Structures are given as structure tokens and as C-alpha cells.
A = this chain, B = another copy of it.
Amino acid sequence: MAGKKVLIVYAHQEPKSFNGSLKKVAVDELSQQGCTVTVSDLYAMNFEPRATRKDITGDLSNPEVFSYGVEAYEAYKKNCLTSDITEEQKKVQEADLVIFQDKLALLSLTTGGTAEMYSKAGVSGDVRYFLWPLQHGALHFCGFKILAPQISFAPELSSEEERKAMVASWAQRLKSIWEEEPIRCTPPWYFGE
């Protein structure tokens, strides 16, 4: 949808990978729709995943006992978080899709295992079980409305043709992504009634 801002948080080491293809079609399709698309390519940025004292510039409010939660909150209020964090926060605040507070988030994942393995009776259990901590515990908790996840099962075990079909179905879905209703992000969605 023209004018919408989309942030893609992308975490894969290899641009030529299947994940790289999924990212590329998303950028292409959404740009064609007239969206402004920003990609946070975490590996390319060498993004620091550790939550440490280095995230806070200047003095601590309690240098005796370091509490990351307390200090990060104080630093947030005083604008004393490091720029690599505030830059990402800004992207999230500005975006309409993949975003904080009453906006939309969509997880696009690839798996090692097949769809059967990620079924209720499979060795890995329903794939929705796996999504609970991230989709519900993190994203929904932070105020996101959640679109149904896009799960590309086992690209490594699939044929070239099947992989192309997965990429195509992702591109196809994105054509009407703005009309989708969020899921009801409650336990029954994850664990059944």
C-alpha cells in the first residue's frame, strides 16, 4: 500500500541463501506497492546482541549494583542509550509493519524440519508452540498486532521447484498483506481449544 513504511529485520549471514531470496522478494514487492522499505540486516551491521553496560552512555544511576533493566530504562528517559539501539528504536517507531505499539508484526521463518515434524504429533510439536515465547511473550507483549507467520518448511530438504514455489507464495501473499486481519494472539491459537 503506497505510503506505508515497512521495516524488515533480517538475520542471515548469506545473501545468496533461501532466506536472502525471501528478503529480496519482500523488498521488491513492497517497494513496487509504493511502500518505503527499510532493512536492518543484523549480520551485515554486525549488530551487538549482548545486553551490557556498554549500551548505556555516561554514568549509571546505581554503579554499585548493575541492573540492566533499571539502567536501560533510565538511559532511555535521558536519551543515554547508544546510537545502535536508538537507531533501531527509531526505525521501529516509524514503521507501519513490523512495529511497536498497535502496529503490525509478521514473522517470516524457515525451518530445518518438515511440516510433519512441526505438527502436533511430530517430534518438534506444533510449530505454534515454538512461536509462543517470541510472538506472544515478546511481540504481542510490546503491543504488536500479529499477522499469521510465514513459515517456509525445510527449504534444504525441498527441490529447487518447491523452493521457488515457497518464494512465489510469499511474494503473492505480500500483494494483499495490508488487507489481512491479525491473528487472535491468545493461548487457544497456539495450543488449541
Task: Evaluate whether A66 and B13 lie within 8 angstroms (CB atoms) in the complex, with A125-B136, A125-B187 already known.
Answer: yes
**A73 at the binding interface (Cβ < 8 Å):** no
- Copy total for this chain: 2
Question: How far, in whole Å, are A133 and B187 apart by their CA atoms in the complex?
Answer: 16
Residues of B within 8 A of A133 (CB): 129-130, 133
**Apart from the given pairs A125-B187, A129-B190, 13 other A-B contacts in the complex at a CB distance below 8 Å:** A13-B51, A14-B67, A17-B65, A17-B66, A43-B50, A125-B132, A125-B190, A129-B133, A129-B187, A129-B191, A130-B132, A130-B137, A133-B133
Q: Quick one: CB contact mask for A27-55 with B, threshold 8 Å, 1 for yes?
A: 00000000000000001001001111100
Main secondary structure of the interface of A (DSSP, over half): loop
Q: Which residues 3-27 in A have Cβ within 8 Å of B in the complex?
A: 13-14, 16-17
**A68 at the binding interface (Cβ < 8 Å):** yes
